[in-house]
Homo-oligomer: A and B are copies of this chain.
Amino acid sequence: MTKSISVGLLGLGTVGSGVVKIIENHQDKLSHQVGCPVTVKKVVVKNIDKVRDVEISSEKLSTNVEDVIHNPDVDVVIEVMGGVEETRDYILTALRNKKHVVTANKDLMAVYGSELLTVASENGCDLFYEASVAGGIPILRGLADGLASDRITKMMGIVNGTTNFILTKMTKEGSAYEEVLKEAQELGYAEADPTSDVGGLDAARKMAILATLGFSMKIDLDDVQVQGITEVTEEDLQYSKQLGYTVKLIGYAHRDGDNVEVSVQPTLLADTHPLASVSDEYNAVYVYGEAVGETMFYGPGAGSLPTATAVVSDLVGVMKNLRLGVNGKSAVTPQFPKQLKTEDQKFSKHFLRIHVKDQVGAFAKLTTLFSERGVSFEKIIQLPVTGSELAEIVVVTHKTSQKDYEEILQQLRDLPIVENVKSSYRVEGVGIV
């Protein structure tokens, strides 16, 4: 059996401890898979004396990052400390020192992923980051495998557990957003400051990572159009249900020839869409490839055990490549120039809920506005608004360009009979395109 492969960890929180435990407890299985043993050489922590729920000899602990990233005995660096700017520097140094890197850090990968992958490739190193997107789902490996003999044109993901938990509860119980958010915070499903989850930023980071890999284009966080769930109301969810849809916060990435669009937004999914039944804190990513067709990966999006498991799977990948002598080749660095779609190249159906003055001819004025641009309705509900002189109109349009739709919205707002545009969401049917 060949020489042991040595691992250095940056961080020993719940994920880091999980990784150390799996490596200790599965030594036999790991060496069987790889053909050589693996050892944890050094672990960088903030406080050496802290009581931890994993056994590790104190001489393996250090408070000095250099002891891992400059350590000639460390082959693979596992980064589970979090953070962006400083962490980027550490990983760059590790890669330049010819160390392979496994990271669970989505904030880092969303912002500096392409740079880090390029440096990894230049140094003949692997940089694996499966745990950064939907911990319990082997989606990046699935995409990479698929890419070897397929072309991916569309990805849709429920990639944030907090917002999916909130929307599921709102839908099931008919409760208001604030109420459910509070409950989610008490249950530990939402942070005290939930902004990055409910505002869509967390999902946007993951979509930037997925789209970069899946389309082999450098998709930056700024390229992702983001709308969170804070404005979604009980009424929106109830109407959606009535019309046969489920509302989810959907990360959407679509390629049309060389043009690409990536967004995160509350979306009405047809109830029969595979993603519609992904409930509570679960995540799922739906992928369309030209050869394989539709596939979906479903599982826990977070949690220390699933995430640690994903990190160890990546470590096994690095170790296999080390022994094969093929490191730095399997990482896919963006190959194609990025061309973001313009508003007239984006097409979808839309859900629109508006309040209009309950006058004769009001509805006719609306329909004229839409039909002038060739947009017709697929579904319509009209009801009086109790205790007012207003009527509530809910429509689902047929497919229209984003450009036409925005212009219609603007004109609607200017119509004297329109009191208020209450809400507007993207609608996704079943099947592809």
Contacts and interface: CB of A to CB of B under 8 A. Distances in A.
Interface residues of A, number: 53
Closest 5 CB pairs of A and B: A295-B299, A296-B298, A35-B326, A277-B277, A32-B329
A51 interface: no
Given A292-B306, A298-B296, A34 B326 contact: yes
Given A272-B277, A320-B324, A330-B33, A298 B299 contact: no
For this chain, the copies found in one complex come to 2
A180 interface: no
A366 interface: no
Contacts of A29: 148-149
A26 B430 CA distance: 32
A34 B274 contact: no
A309 interface: yes
A277 B274 contact: yes
A33 to B, nearest CB: 6
Interface string A285-297: 0000001111111
Interface stretch (A60-68, A105-113, A135-143): A135-143
Nearest to A26: B149
A262 interface: no
A309 B291 contact: yes
Contacts of A430: 279
A145 interface: yes
A13 interface: no
B277 A276 contact: yes
A299 B292 contact: yes
Contact of A34 (B279, B300, B312, B324): B324
Nearest to A306: B292
The interface residues of chain A, by DSSP majority, are classed as: mixed
Instruction: Give the residue among A138, A142, A292, A323 with the most B Cβ atoms within 10 A.
Output: A292
Instruction: Give the residue among A148, A278, A305, A313 with the most B Cβ atoms within 10 A.
Output: A148
A150 interface: yes
Contacts of A300: 292-295
A272 B35 CA distance: 44
A303 interface: yes
A294 B299 contact: yes
A294 B309 contact: no
A369 interface: no
Given A32-B326, A150-B309, 19 more contacts: A32-B330, A33-B329, A34-B326, A137-B295, A149-B309, A149-B312, A274-B277, A276-B277, A279-B430, A282-B294, A291-B305, A292-B299, A293-B303, A294-B300, A296-B297, A296-B298, A297-B298, A298-B298, A323-B324
